[in-house]
Amino acid sequence: MAEKNSLSRVPWSLQPSLRDKTNELEIDFDKFIENLKLNRSDSEMAKEFGVSKDVIAQLRQHFEKYGIQSIVGRD
């Protein structure tokens, strides 16, 4: 019998992948990942990609929390 307050754990997410997010912003995904690998600052990356530091910070946060891909479930 399941606990009343337990959370259901499903193996998928509606969260878009990092690739989806960078594509939407017209940021080259591979270059973005390379910049992360090289530990470039948000300011450096924002200048290179022509976006704000806040956009880069949000993409970096997504990478650190979810990784490159979000899990998509199958029936």
Longest alpha-carbon distance in the chain: 55
Name the pTM for this structure.
0.75
**Residue carrying the six token digits 């530091």:** 53
**Is residue 36 predicted with pLDDT exceeding 50?**
yes
pLDDT band of residue 54 (cuts 50, 70, 90) is very high
Tokens of 20: 């989806």
Mean pLDDT, the chain, rounded, equals: 84
Mean pLDDT of 9-34: 86
